[in-house]
């Protein structure tokens, strides 16, 4: 473990990076308010952080990145903000898809398609189709995602299976939106809040949680690296006693 100097500056160990990083991108509203701007401007600037974090994760060789872009609870926001967030995803994909494709990013959506406008679903589906053969970073956009909803959807999928599988952690997990994906090793939540907010309730069972004080629109490569270093300082035991490093 490379630890340098008296103040124990911790360098990133490329061999012990998390395989799957999940992020709750919080603080867009506060970022805007601090600048006397409408909340939407925080979301718009947040898009630049999304670009920068995806690029860095790809460069580092992280395999999976899951971003919480819109929760099932976010429908409770004012209609204008909801519409803005929907349009922002469309704009984001329109603007970034070519570059994401060039970087080898494979996009997937985690969430329910219910209530999501057809136009939004259309651009998500196009992004999925265009990047489906890419071999780089697997980017999961959690959009209209709710952890409890996911569990209920999984129960329905499970009950419809014929022949009915034996109920086990793995047979159930294969019915979740995240079927086939490894669980996140690291959950980053920005803006200092210490909540899970209905995100990946099943999958985060043994994730290391790092809460960054930085508001999402200010969360760029440097803070990502700090969070990854924090992760590498943790000792992961998965409920056991033996010291197992990430």
Q: Which residues bind ligand FPP (CB under 6 A)?
A: 25-30, 39, 43, 46-47, 50, 67, 69, 74, 85, 88-89, 92, 141, 216
Please indicate whether residue 74 is annotated as part of the active site: yes
* Residue, CB closest to ligand FPP: 29
Supply the minimum distance, in Å, between the C-beta of residue 208 and ligand FPP: 22
Q: Which helix (H) or strand (E) holds 52?
A: helix 39-60
CB of 12 to ligand FPP, least distance (A): 24
Smallest distance from ligand FPP to CB 92, Å: 4
Residue written as tokens 């959506």?
A: 109
- If the CB atoms of residues 50 and 137 are measured against ligand FPP, the closer one turns out to be 50
Q: Of 21, 26, 85, 23, give the one whose Cα is nearest residue 216.
A: 26
In the complex, minimum distance from the CB of residue 183 to ligand FPP, in angstroms, rounded to a whole number: 21
Q: Residue 54 or 210: which CB sits closer to ligand FPP?
A: 54
Each as own residue / partner, the long-range contacts of residues 217-220 (CB below 8 Å, 24 or more positions apart, any chain) are 217/27, 217/28, 217/31, 217/32, 217/42, 217/45, 217/46, 217/48, 217/49, 218/31, 218/49, 219/25, 219/49, 219/53, 219/190, 220/49, 220/52, 220/53
**Cis? peptide before 163, omega within 30° of 0:** yes
Backbone angles phi, psi at 195, to 5 degrees: -135, 155
From the candidates 74, 134, 183, 218, which is the catalytic residue?
74
Q: Which is nearer to ligand FPP, 63 or 74 (CB)?
A: 74
Please, which residue, 24 or 175, has the CB nearer to ligand FPP? 24
| Catalytic status, residue 26 | yes
Write out the catalytic residue numbers. Answer: 26, 74
């Amino acid at each position: 473990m490379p630890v340098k100097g008296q103040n124990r500056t911790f360098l990133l160990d490329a061999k012990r990076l998390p395989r799957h990083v999940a992020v709750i991108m919080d603080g867009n509203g506060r970022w805007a308010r601090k600048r006397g701007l409408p909340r939407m401007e925080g979301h718009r600037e947040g898009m630049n952080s999304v670009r920068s974090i995806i690029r860095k994760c790809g460069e580092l060789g992280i395999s999976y990145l899951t971003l919480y872009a819109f929760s099932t609870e976010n429908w409770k926001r004012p209609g204008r903000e909801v519409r803005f967030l929907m349009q922002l995803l469309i704009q984001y994909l329109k603007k970034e898809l070519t570059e994401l494709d060039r970087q080898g990013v494979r996009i997937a959506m985690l969430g329910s398609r219910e209530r999501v406008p057809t136009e939004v679903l259309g651009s998500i589906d196009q992004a999925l189709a265009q990047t489906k053969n890419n071999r780089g970073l697997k980017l999961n956009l959690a959009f209209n995602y709710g952890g409890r909803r996911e569990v209920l959807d999984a129960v329905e999928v499970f009950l419809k299976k014929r022949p009915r599988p034996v109920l086990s952690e793995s047979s159930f997990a294969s019915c979740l939106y995240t079927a086939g994906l490894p669980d996140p090793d690291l959950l980053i939540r920005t803006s200092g809040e210490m909540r899970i907010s209905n995100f990946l309730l099943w999958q985060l069972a043994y994730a290391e949680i790092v809460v960054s004080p930085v508001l999402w629109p200010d969360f760029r490569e440097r803070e990502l690296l700090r969070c990854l270093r924090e992760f590498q300082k943790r000792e992961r035991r998965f409920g056991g006693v033996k010291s197992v490093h990430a």
